[in-house]
Amino acid sequence: MVVVVILGLMSALAVGAIRQDEVASRYKTFIDDVTGRIVSARDLAVTRATRVRLDFYKDRVEMRQWDHVANDWVSAGANRVGEVDGGILTGNADVCVFGVVSGAQAPSVAQNVPTPNDCMTGSVQMTFEADGTFTVQDGVLGVPNAGATIWIGDRSLNTAPKLALIQVFPGGLVRTFDHVD
Residues 123-162: tens digit of each pLDDT: 899 999 999 888 888 655 566 777 888 999 888 777 778 8
CATH class of 2-180: alpha beta
Q: What is the mean pLDDT of residues 23-44?
A: 85
The pLDDT value recorded for residue 50 is 92
Pairing mode, strands 162-168 and 174-180: antiparallel
pLDDT band at 17; cut points 50, 70, 90: very low
Query: Rounded CA gap, 95 and 39, in Å?
Result: 21
Give pLDDT tens digits for 61-98. Answer: 889 999 989 899 988 876 665 554 444 434 456 888 98
Higher pLDDT, 119 or 14: 119
Question: Taking the model in full, what pTM does it have?
Answer: 0.76
What angle (nearest 5°) sits at the alpha carbon of residue 152, between those of residues 150 and 158?
150
- Range name among 31-35, 115-119, 147-151 with the lowest pLDDT average: 115-119
What angle (nearest 5°) sits at the alpha carbon of residue 23, between those of residues 19 and 28?
140
Higher pLDDT, 41 or 21: 41
- Pair 100, 148: CB distance under 8 Å: yes
The pLDDT value recorded for residue 66 is 92
Q: Please report, as a single letter, which amino acid is at residue 45.
A: A
